[in-house]
Structures are given as structure tokens and as C-alpha cells.
Amino acid sequence: MNETGGIPLGDAATVHPAVVGPAAVGTTSRSLAPTIGLRGVSLPAWVIPGLAYLGLFLITRSFLFGNPVIHIDEQFYLFVAERMRDGAVPYVDIWDRKPIGLFVLYEAFAAVPGDPLLAYQFGAALATAGTALAISRLAREIASPAAAWQAGAAYILFMPAFNAGMGQAPVFYNLLVAVAAIAVVDAMKRNEDETLLGRGCWVMLLLGLAIQIKYTVIFEGAAFGVMLLARGFADIWSLRRLAAAAVLWVAVALLPTAVAMAWYAEIGQLDVFIYANFVSIFERGSDGMRSYGRLAKECAALLPFWLAIFHAPKMLDTSGGLSPRSHAFLKIWGAMACLGFLIFGTWYDHYVAPLLVPLAVLAAPALARVQPGQRWYGRFLLGFGALAGMVVPIYQVWRHGTTAQYEEMSALIEREMHGGCLFIFEGELAFYRTLPTCLPTTRIFPNHLNTFIESTAIGMDATAEVRRIVAARPDVILMWAPQKLYLPNLETRVVMRAELPKAYERYATYTLGTREYWLYRLKR
């Protein structure tokens, strides 16, 4: 342990976790890519901290690897990716409102030789470790190297606490946003930088790619763009030059989305793309007070960050050359990330994950623990993260089921499959991926047909679609045993209760996790 109570990373003047890329172009007051000597071999300074972050991820997530039912969103992303390899077109053959870039990313994981499940999970490990490195680099602007490293560790520990421990969308786009933030911070410290226009294009391209994983990144992108324009204004750019730069940067940020739209226009499905990506979200219903309850719970879970951040201004470490511009940018970024989280409502737990990047950076000074009376802030932050980051995934495995349970239930389903379709009205979507089945509907995500919230936002009549599916006689139908549900689609449930007895019989009951399933087959 060093004098700050952190993990010793070496001399602060030479050891500095960094993300190397266009952000490191040019000269700065602090090198972004130092090296570490190891028995005559020079390694980039980020290698050892990066391996430490990767090790922390693997240790805290080891029991999740290979589990196909970690989170239904991840099940869906991988399912769509594998169907894309077989020719399926998102939004047309399989409907959802996630950006196409997320499915393309998972398609790349599915193309890796071996088990695609493990491929995306190890991809998530690398993305998380990379984001932690970027956080460490950003935190070094306002904290010591040891405290900055711990800020990255806090990110890794807290992600599972908000159900983003493996392959949720923020795991991947957080990396792009964090690397873009490094480039902006570097630009903030440069006076009359001739490369500012090109640097801004690099930042906006990263953000444009991130937007194609999750559209809410647009709020952070707007903040980054304004800060870059403010840098240009401070350099006495003319209004014409500022306007031209703004237009160029916006165009670059929108380029990935424009490419996707052009492709769908080419195949004659632009209207489907526009509805799924930009319209349906505003037609989705609300679950009222339940959403506010989630928001309150999430704000409470972030209490360690609030304590650290609002205490941090008294603890800023200026020994590394604190830049007021950098600190201002980091605070604006955190505020805009919070706005992006709040503005759309619903507030599901994994929506908190993008906030953890700027919050971890801003909390870094509190992790330095430079005075005895201040040590509990950092200990509370890391201790709470370690505890919650283990308890929540364990709870999710208990609730959704283990790999062994999944395989047993899968065998029960497969024995009644006769070359037709499986219809999961309620339950884990992963069975569509691992069993040989046709797709009974384009609205394959169960919540689209079984919840009240989604009933008006899927581009079709959910009740009529469920009636059509049952009339087509799929081989096996899955439902949960009767239980109290929160805001179900009562109309589609009435259809299921009325139509199932006509042609189906319940042949098995199985408890996967904490859910009891009723399995139905066609009457013999």
C-alpha cells in the first residue's frame, strides 16, 4: 500500500493507465502512453492495470460464464445475431427497437469459432476492462494514480449491481463513450490546437457508433460536441468556422445511423426501420408508480457515489497538474449522462450503467483517502460495490435458473418438438436459440405480447397476433404457472386461457430458478 492507501502502481510520473488512440495525438503536459520496464522488456503502462481489471472481472463473474439465462436482453441479442447469420433481417423478420449496431456487434461475437455464448461473455469482459482503463485515465485528471485505478475497479464492481454484469448494451457502448471522453479532455487542455477539427471528428465517430448501440448516448454526445465548440470559441474561431465545425461533427455522429437507414431504404424497409427505432419508444406505456419506485431504489444504490462526489471537491489531488477545464468537462458529462437516464422514464436497473462511467471518474478523489477522517468514503464505495456486485448476480441466477436446470427443461421441450415451432408466451427466450424451432411470430420477445406496457408499441395488434399464433398450432407452448403478475396484457392472457384447452394438453411442469413453468403440447 502506498501513502494514499491505494494499490501501488509505481511512480506517478511514469505509470499512468492510458487508452492509446487518436486521443493521444500531439503533445500534452502528461504523457498518455508511458511504458513500464519489466526485465528489459518495455510494456505500455496500461497492460498491467488492464490485466488486473480483467482479472477482477473474471473473479467476480466466474459463476456466470456459460449460463444461457443471465438476462433476457442478452438472450435476445445473441438469438437475433445467430438468426442474422441465417439471413434474418432485424425489424422485419424479428422485431425490436434496439439499434442495429447492437445486433451487428453480437453477430460478430457469434462468428467467433466455438460457443457464441462464451464469445460474447468474454467480449463483455474485455469491454469492461477497457472501460475501466479509460476511467482510470480520466480520473487521473483529478486524482492520484492509485485512486484513479480504484475508480476503474469501482466501475467493474458496481456494474453487476445494476444487472449489467455481462453483455448488456451499456457494457459495450460505455467503452466508446469513455474513449471519446479522453479525446475531449485532451482537447480541453490544448490552446489553439490545429488538430481540433479532426479530433472532434474522431470523437463524434466514436459517439455515432455508440448511438447505434443505444440511442440515449445522444445526450452525452451533445455535451461532448458543445465542449469541443467551446474549445474552438476559446481559440477565437470565427462564427462561420464554429458553425461549419458543428455541422461537420453532427454529420459524422449521425453517419452510422444514416448508413443503417440507407441500407433499409435499399431493401424497401425504411418505414419499418423508422418505426422500430424512432417511433415505437414513444408509444410504449408506463407502469406508473412502479417506475418511480425503481428510480428511488437506484438513487439509493448510488449513495456511495453521491457521498464521494459531493465530498470530492475538498479532496482534489492537484499534484498531477489538475486542469480546471478537465474537471468542468467531467462534471458536465456526468450531468448530461444523468439527464439521458432520467428523460425517458421507466428507469430499469441496467439503464444506470452509463452513469457509472462519469460517476466513477468524479468519485476518484474520494478514493485517495489522504486524511484519516476521510477514509470511510472510499471504503464505503468499494465495499458496497463489491457486496452488491456479488449479491445481485447470485440472486439473478437463483431467480432465473442455473445452466443444469436450463438443460433439463430444454430436454423436456425438445422431446415434444416435431419440426414445428416453439412458442414462449412467458419465460426465458434462450430456448428459441438452443432448440431447433421455427419462429411463430416476428414479435418474438415475450414481453412484447404478454405485457400491458408494450401492447400499444409493437406496430401490430398483440391480441390478434397471439390468436393467430395459437391457431397455427406450434408444437410446444410455454407459460408460467398462475401467479400474481405486474401489469400483464390481460387481453392476450384471455386468449391463451380460452384457446389452449381446445388443442393442447399440459404434459410437464418444471421449476426453472424460482419460476414454475407449464409446458403444453398438441393433444394426441
**Domain residue ranges in the chain:** 51-396, 403-522
In whole angstroms, what is the distance from residue 71 CA to residue 77 CA?
Answer: 10
Under a CB-based contact definition with an 8 Å cutoff, are residues 477 and 518 in contact?
no
In whole angstroms, what is the distance from residue 173 CA to residue 102 CA?
Answer: 9
In whole angstroms, what is the distance from residue 111 CA to residue 116 CA?
Answer: 7
pLDDT at 381: 93
pLDDT at 225: 96
pLDDT at 318: 52
HEC-encoded secondary structure of 290-314: HHHHHHHHHHHHCHHHHHHHHHHHH
pLDDT at 39: 60
Instruction: Show the CA angle centred on residue 242, arms to residues 236 and 246, nearest 5°.
Output: 150
pLDDT at 412: 97
> Smallest Cα–Cα separation from 70: which of 180, 168, 181?
168
**Any residues with CB less than 8 A from the CB of 85 and at least 6 apart, and which?**
107, 110, 111
Q: In what order do the strands lie in the sheet with 422-424?
A: 422-424, 476-480, 515-522, 504-512
Tell me, what amino acid is at 380? F
| b/e burial code for range 453-471 (CB count within 10 A of at least 16 → b) | bbbebbbeebbebbbebbe
Instruction: Show the CA angle centred on residue 55, arms to residues 54 and 57, nearest 5°.
Output: 65
Please name the residue that has the C-alpha cell 434462450. Answer: 430
Under a CB-based contact definition with an 8 Å cutoff, are residues 151 and 136 in contact?
yes
Please name the residue that has the C-alpha cell 487518436. Answer: 22
Tell me, what amino acid is at 247? V
DSSP 8-state secondary structure symbol assigned to residue 275: I
Q: Given the DSSP bridges, would you call strands 422-424 and 476-480 parallel, antiparallel or unpaired?
A: parallel
Helix (H/G/I), strand (E/B), else coil: 4: coil
List helix spans (H) across 368-489.
Answer: 375-400, 403-414, 430-434, 446-450, 462-471
End-to-end Cα, the chain, rounded Å? 70
C-alpha 383, offset from chain centre: 23
> Smallest Cα–Cα separation from 362: which of 138, 162, 129?
138
Tell me, what amino acid is at 194? E
pLDDT at 396: 94
In whole angstroms, what is the distance from residue 285 CA to residue 288 CA?
Answer: 9
- In a structure prediction context, what are the per-residue pLDDT tens digits for the chain, which is 524 residues long? 343 333 333 333 333 333 333 333 333 334 444 555 556 567 778 789 899 999 999 999 999 999 999 999 999 999 999 999 999 999 999 999 999 999 999 999 999 999 999 999 999 999 999 999 999 999 999 888 999 999 999 999 999 999 999 999 999 999 999 999 999 999 988 888 889 999 999 999 999 999 999 999 999 999 999 999 999 999 989 999 999 999 999 999 999 999 999 999 999 999 999 999 999 999 988 887 788 888 999 999 999 999 998 876 665 655 545 667 788 899 999 999 998 888 877 888 999 999 999 999 999 988 876 555 566 778 899 999 999 999 999 999 999 999 999 999 999 999 999 999 999 999 999 999 999 999 999 999 999 999 999 999 999 999 999 999 999 999 999 999 988 888 899 999 999 999 999 999 999 999 999 999 999 999 98
